[in-house]
Amino acid sequence: MSAFRLLVVEDNDQELDICRDTVKRYTDEKQRNIEIVECKTVKEAFEKLDNSFDGAIIDLRLADQGDEGNLVIERIEQSHFRIPVVILTGTPDAANSDFGNIGVFKKGDPGAGYADLLDRFWGIHNTGLTRIMGGRGTIEVTLNKVFLKNLLPQRDKWVGYGETDSSKTEKALLRYAVSHLLQLLDDDGDRCFPEEVYLNPPLTEKIRTGSVVKEKNNDLRFVVMNPTCDLVIRRNGTCNTDRILIVEIDLQSELFPGYPTNGLSKSQKSDLEKAFRNNKSAYYHWLPKTDFFEGGFLNFRKLISLSSEEFTERFEKPTVQISPSFVKDMVARFSAYYARQGQPDIEFEHFINSPIVKTENP
């Protein structure tokens, strides 16, 4: 495995000595390969900064002004470098409060030692996040392959599309590239983690199939069930439908009162497992709980249709979106529930209880 590359932006020699000693001890004790790249000034940081780092520790005071480290952070944001960043400073109040990353730590505080910060970075590194999203990551390598082997050889065709509608062609190319990335996962049989079920927060406020919405006046949550084509925005800014179809989410506590506080009997545990496998009932669909979403069970019997105006007035903007891979199964179960036909019961008892007819041997 390649070394963990750590950018350290710090002008205090004593702090740098402590950092070097800690990294050396940390590497020896935990057998973790860490490469430090040191910068003492904003200019030096700008020269060395790129998307190849797995983490960065940035001090704010690098000159007389006292907040020069914010300039380095702004460069990371503006350059779209995907680097986990820790701000380690004696003046935390000067930190850019709009910058969302690992956190701001004051030098000398508990949990702000270099070994503590290295543990934080290594925990993130173990998830594979920087190996996937970083400048040396899987996505970058795959996109390079798609660019060279798929898109450039077909450039004449795409150029023709671009002459007709540049904006539409750009979106199509984005979909095409994403499709190639998804191909990496087609043969992955591993079970998913609950967080993978959702996009949180959604990257758009537009209502889509699988958008989770909350009523403004209470905590009830619903999921939008319209077909995707219904929710396409037309040129006049409205949807293809004048009605929004939503299904209410029943909380797990409603289906299994007392769980997990009071525990479960063997039969209740079996029943809960069926519910999680979506085998409890044809009209329930499980949505797993995460730190950012309570989850529960979609109850297809609790179906509501609202006008666009009523929907907008009644509900907040969606804060969670069920991801496309899981929307397909949800819609399939919803469709199957309402498409079921059934048939009259057939009198079958006499087939079971009919007397045995003995035949003579010829």
pLDDT of residue 240: 80
pLDDT of residue 136: 62
Asked if 289 and 194 touch (Cβ cutoff 8 Å), the reply is: yes
Of the candidate ranges 91-105, 132-146, 188-202, 273-287, the one whose mean pLDDT is the lowest: 132-146
Report the SS3 class of residue 104: strand
Does 196-339 carry CATH code 3.40.1440.60? Answer: no
First to last CA, the chain: 81
Which residues make Cβ contacts (< 8 Å) with residue 323, sequence separation at least 6? 196, 197, 198, 199, 210
Q: State how far the Cα of 349 lies from the Cα of 347, in Å rounded to an integer.
A: 6
Q: State how far the Cα of 297 lies from the Cα of 283, in Å rounded to an integer.
A: 9
pLDDT of residue 46: 95
Q: What is the tens place of the pLDDT at every residue in 120-176? A: 999 888 887 777 776 666 777 777 777 778 777 888 888 888 888 888 888 888 888
Q: What is the tens place of the pLDDT at every residue in 279-326? A: 888 999 999 999 999 999 999 999 999 998 999 999 999 999 999 889
Neighbouring C-beta atoms of residue 277, cutoff 10 Å: 9
pLDDT of residue 263: 67
Per-residue confidence band for 238, with pLDDT thresholds at 50, 70 and 90: confident
Global pTM reads: 0.67
Q: State how far the Cα of 85 lies from the Cα of 77, in Å rounded to an integer.
A: 11
Q: How many residues does the chain have?
A: 362
Per-residue confidence band for 65, with pLDDT thresholds at 50, 70 and 90: confident
Per-residue confidence band for 177, with pLDDT thresholds at 50, 70 and 90: confident
pLDDT of residue 244: 94
Per-residue confidence band for 1, with pLDDT thresholds at 50, 70 and 90: low
pLDDT of residue 358: 60
Strand locations in the chain (E): 4-9, 34-39, 55-58, 85-89, 103-106, 198-199, 211-214, 221-224, 243-250, 284-287, 296-307, 320-322
Does 4-133 carry CATH code 3.40.50.2300? Answer: yes
Tell whether the model's pLDDT for residue 182 goes beyond 90: no
pLDDT of residue 357: 58
Q: What is the tens place of the pLDDT at every residue in 245-283? A: 999 999 988 887 766 656 667 777 888 888 898 888 899
pLDDT of residue 354: 62
Average pLDDT of every residue of the chain? 86
pLDDT of residue 318: 94
Per-residue confidence band for 9, with pLDDT thresholds at 50, 70 and 90: very high
pLDDT of residue 313: 94
Tell me which residue of 4, 19, 26, 5 sits closest to 107, measured CA to CA: 19
pLDDT of residue 34: 92
Per-residue confidence band for 37, with pLDDT thresholds at 50, 70 and 90: very high
Asked if 208 and 319 touch (Cβ cutoff 8 Å), the reply is: no
Q: What is the location of CATH 3.40.50.2300 in the chain?
A: 4-133
Q: State how far the Cα of 93 lies from the Cα of 105, in Å rounded to an integer.
A: 10
Per-residue confidence band for 26, with pLDDT thresholds at 50, 70 and 90: very high
Tell whether the model's pLDDT for residue 224 goes beyond 70: yes
Tell whether the model's pLDDT for residue 362 goes beyond 60: no
Residue 302 backbone dihedrals phi, psi, to 5 degrees: -95, 75
pLDDT of residue 185: 64
Q: What is the location of CATH 2.30.30.110 in the chain?
A: 196-339
The average pLDDT across 196-204 equals 90
pLDDT over 90 percentage in the chain = 45
87-96, 162-171, 230-239, 308-317, range with greatest mean pLDDT: 308-317
